[in-house]
Chain A
Amino acid sequence: MLKRKKTKGKKRPIAVTVIGAAIVVLFIVRLYQVFKPLYDMGLFQLGMVGRQFYTSQGLTGMGWAIIDSASYFILAIGLVIVLIGFLRMRRWSWVMLMTWVGISMVVGLVDYFYVGQPNYVIMASDVVIAFALSQVEVQRIFGIRTDISELLS
């Protein structure tokens, strides 16, 4: 039987583990957000039979709930993909995650200043991820920041 070789060379710093944990937290929050609108509309209690999703006036409450749920589902799947890339220390996952966190924080801040009810758990996770991603050590591991000495060697 063939044994999988362990990845050598790159040592995973603590910040990467912290970011991984924060992504898991975000994933759980998003998963909750996938089911909540459907639960609120009574989908699990009453089932889908006989439900209308669209009328001549536009989407019904159930239709909006499914769209909300689907978008959160896509976000959750995206997080899983980023998490896998991140744990394998791929450059694209760092860029994607930083961009994601940036957009998420813009949404969170607009929510805070204009609606008044941001999701503080997501905000906190975003802050932790942003600071952890900006660590020099993490940036170096993902090939974002390169030292002159590294370039010369």
Chain B
Amino acid sequence: MNSSLDRPTAPVGTPDIDLLRQFEPVVRFTKGEQFFPTDVDRYVAECSLWAHYPDGREEIVVKQGELTLDKLVQQRPAVFGTVRFLRFIETLTLSEAAIALTEQAQLRRKLGNYFKVGMGRLARGGFLPRLADALFSLSFLLRGKVSSATAAAAELAFNRMHAEDEKYVYYGRVVRQNGWTVLQYWYFYCYNSWRSGFHGVNDHESDWEMVNLYLYEDEGELVPEWAAYASHDFHGDDLRRRWDDLQELDFVDGHPVIYAGAGSHASYFRPGEYQAEVTLPLPSWVNGITRAMNKFWTEVLDQPAGNPFRIPFVDFARGDGMKVGQGEKHAWSPELIDESTLWVSQYRGLWGLFARDPISGENAPAGPMYNRDGSPRGSWYDPLGFAGLDKVPPPFQALGYLQKSCDEVAARQTELDNLIPKKAGDLQELGIKLKGMEGNPHLAKQYAMLEKKSNALADEVKNLRRENSENTALLQGLTQRLERMKAGMQDDPRAHVRHLAVPVLAARVRFGRAAETWAAISLSLMLFAIAALVFFAPSFIWAGLVIIMILFVLAESILRGAFVETMTRITLLLALVSAFILFIHFWDIIVVGGLIALGVFLMWQRLRELTG
């Protein structure tokens, strides 16, 4: 519920830190969240610094316990392709891993900080996406992966740090660009536990999240207009919401509320459970075949599109856990940063383990100013472009720009209103001249020249008239908008949003409990059935596999209330295979029959035409 409908303002010239404090968001976490925004100093003190070289070698640069922010930013020349990274949790032995996992369980029991998954993500996808999910999990055997024991050790380490000095930190930055004042809030987490803690896509050491607030100046006051939260799968315009969009933005005493994704820490405007999708990393030739088959399926067979290789993941942003910020038990400790902050600008490495994951999901991120490859981060150097605001002037400037455009178009219209009759008169004069020259063969040369001139003038008049017509419509639109703006009327606050992040409804599955149970056991049941097939009927292995798969998919579809759609898809696939077999065996009959049918059809059409 929104507790404040009026926009708070701050006088122009307010010190940056006070400005940041005045609008600092409230962050609401999901119950079960293990990591909260903390300060980089203490984190770095717990880390070691490493270098990964292009030949695969890894070398410790500064040992754990010796690293400080000053040491982190020291210049260290290295060959191209070197990756510097921090390591929060050192490699664990088997016994250390077992101890970490046990202590993690004890800690959770002690804190009573449990996460209840509810309707899991597996039940939200179908049987094939679940099969793809199993393959995705298996892909971690080949890709780099942060282990569950590392996650447990990170949780313990963070809790130890937190117990010593409970502090909730954000790093704030104020940028002034194109009439906007951008308040940038950066949140640093020791660990992203989305996969290990909340059935998500990935885990990695360290996590940087960011939120931007956009203010404009009005009569000496800074007024908030937009809020943009970084989130999965969304970019540009889709990231921002207008301050008065109370269906999308929650406030506590003028402070916007962020609902943080459990483990992922992605920021959402509304509480709920969001479905993110990940495409299985497949070889390019498999993707090519899938695309071609999808095209055939949708365009030739006119069937609804679908991709079995997309795996649905749920980002839980329920907001029912710990809360930090205005009006809550826990308050923020802000720290100002900018390019002169050395750890921001001088350390281009990763802020956690470099897991050597080729698709980067398990590698730690770089700092606020850089991407993983050390290149500048767009959201740092272009905070307006990040939320698609680079093309949007602040409200007070918008009115001026619009008035100027109206004046320019109106002036051009006046000019055209004078020019067109004059040019049209000239054209008519030429026409009369040409008419007078007709029937006089000795004037052929002059006639041709004049005709050319007349054609050129006709084109010019036509273009001027078109411009006049287009400008009339343009001026009408601009004037209407100007009048609306002068009257204080605003656009739809979500007119710019193309893809709106909407929480998934809790009851999307027809038989919730049954579907969830089935989702949990179906893959194992299928493996048992395959084992029985191999044991009892090895000669029917391929047919058996196909039939088992069909039966499992159909059983799933009944639970999900999608039997007809699924059965149609399966039958069509079988029909394609059968048609192929028929063509192989009877291609000559099919070709002859087709030709005869075509001949009969054409003859019938022609005869009908003949008989009227």
Contacts and interface: CB of A to CB of B under 8 A. Distances in A.
Given A106-B547, A123-B582, A124-B582, A95 B575 contact: no
B543 A102 contact: no
B564 A130 contact: no
Interface string A102-130: 10011011101110000010011011001
A30 to B, nearest CB: 18
A98 interface: yes
Contacts of B586: 120
A123 B578 CA distance: 7
A109 B574 contact: yes
Given A110-B543, A120-B586, A134-B301, A98 B571 contact: yes
A127 B580 CA distance: 10
A106 B574 contact: yes
B114 interface: no
Nearest to B301: A134
B591 interface: no
B571 A127 contact: no
Interface in A20-38: none
A136 interface: yes
Interface in B547-577: 547, 550, 564, 567-568, 570-572, 574-575, 577
A99 B578 contact: no
A112 B581 contact: yes
A98 B574 CA distance: 11
Main SS class of interface, A: helix
A99 B558 CA distance: 13
A56 B248 CA distance: 78
A130 B543 contact: no
B302 interface: yes
A134 B547 CA distance: 22
A127 B575 contact: yes
Interface string B28-64: 0000000000000000000000000000000000000
Contacts of B564: 95, 98, 144
Residue in B301, B303, B539, B564 with the greatest tally of chain A CB atoms within 10 Å: B564
Contact of B585 (A110, A120, A131, A144): A120
B302 A114 contact: no
Given A113-B542, A135-B302, A136-B302, A105 B571 contact: yes
Contact of A108 (B539, B542, B578, B585): B578
A16 interface: no
A101 interface: yes
Contact of A102 (B574, B581, B585): B574
Contacts of B571: 98-99, 101-102, 105, 130, 133-134
Given A105-B578, A123-B581, 16 more contacts: A98-B567, A105-B574, A105-B575, A109-B574, A110-B543, A110-B547, A114-B540, A120-B582, A123-B582, A130-B571, A131-B579, A134-B302, A134-B303, A134-B568, A135-B302, A144-B568
Would you list the 10 A-B pairs with minimal beta carbon distance, nearest first? A130-B575, A102-B571, A105-B574, A127-B579, A110-B543, A127-B575, A127-B578, A130-B571, A136-B302, A123-B578
28 contacts: A95-B564, A98-B568, A98-B571, A101-B571, A102-B567, A102-B571, A105-B578, A106-B574, A108-B578, A109-B543, A109-B577, A109-B578, A114-B539, A114-B540, A123-B581, A123-B582, A124-B582, A127-B579, A127-B582, A130-B575, A131-B572, A131-B575, A133-B571, A134-B303, A134-B571, A134-B572, A136-B302, A144-B564
